[in-house]
Homo-oligomer: A and B are copies of this chain.
């Protein structure tokens, strides 16, 4: 007599079906087995409501069918939407996803990596900020938005092109004098290239521009001050603003409203990221849209693909411009 409440194991199935352990294993794994045995085993499985223990499986195989995602948080729409697409791409390939939020904490990032290190996960996708993050060779890693060198592929949108596109659009839309606003320049990551792209675009279109780059510790208040300084006789001395994120764009738009400056009539604003209101409503502003879904898919593909001999260190996916009401429509 067995304990009736215990979780059924393969052994239980074997004795229930009157066959041996190996036979059950073969049935479960779809290996060739005599038809008569197969049905007997399947019946026993159903009867006992048996499910394989994937931890025991993982122990044996050295693979767990689980990958981990390192991401700062999930309240920022960019991160949560990215996480969503990565999760679904993983699901489609029958992988489970372990979620690790790091809150931009370098120490915690490292802690996670070491925790996941050995054979707990089959791979890691990480959007991290720790410049010295030590990733063991033994575990496949794909980085988002940050080049980590040493054979770790990095997936990002084409940030340089995005910056350039913003400048070009502003020029096309009739701007003559524009501003560039950004924060967080201290991190050496791909989004930094938006600045260079923007400058490049301004130069090629002969657009005059001014830049305000906030340090890590400075608050958005500096943007208020900057804009106020540039308001002369009730008019802003810019007719276009490129903000390095939609978040800054939204903030700036609010400030402008308080200053009685109309958007887009007096000044046109372009952001970056392509965040939508409530996930699937309108864009928050005219913006450079990151192909989030494609980026997610690529991360998963790179992580799960057989390591090909030589592959690029950096994958830049194309961005696009959309009008979200804070620029004039292109006619």
Where the two chains meet, the residues of A that have a C-beta atom closer than 8 Å to any C-beta of B are 7, 51-56, 58-59, 64, 66, 73-77, 80-81, 83-84, 87-88, 91, 96-101, 114-115, 117-120, 138, 246-247, 250-251, 275, 277-281, 284
Complex CA–CA separation, A55 to B284 (angstroms): 44
**Cβ distance A82 to chain B, nearest Cβ, rounded Å:** 9
Contacts of A251 in B (CB 8 A): 281
Chain B contacts of A7 at CB under 8 A?
118-119, 138
Contact with A83, one of B58, B74, B277 (Cβ below 8 angstroms): B74
Is the pair B250, A118 in contact by a Cβ cutoff of 8 Å? no
Q: Within the complex, which residue of B55, B64, B81 is in contact with A119, where a contact is CB–CB below 8 Å?
A: B55
Q: Indicate whether A84 sits within 8 Å of B75 (C-beta atoms), given known contacts A7-B119, A277-B250.
A: yes
Contact present for B91 and A101 (CB under 8 Å): yes
Q: How far is the CB of A56 from chain B (nearest CB, A)?
A: 5
Q: Say whether, besides A59-B55, A101-B87, A76 and B279 are in contact (CB < 8 Å).
A: yes
Whether the pair B281, A250 counts as a contact (CB closer than 8 A) is: yes
Interfacial chain B residues near A100, Cβ < 8 Å: 91, 96
Q: Is the CB of B55 within 8 A of A64?
A: yes
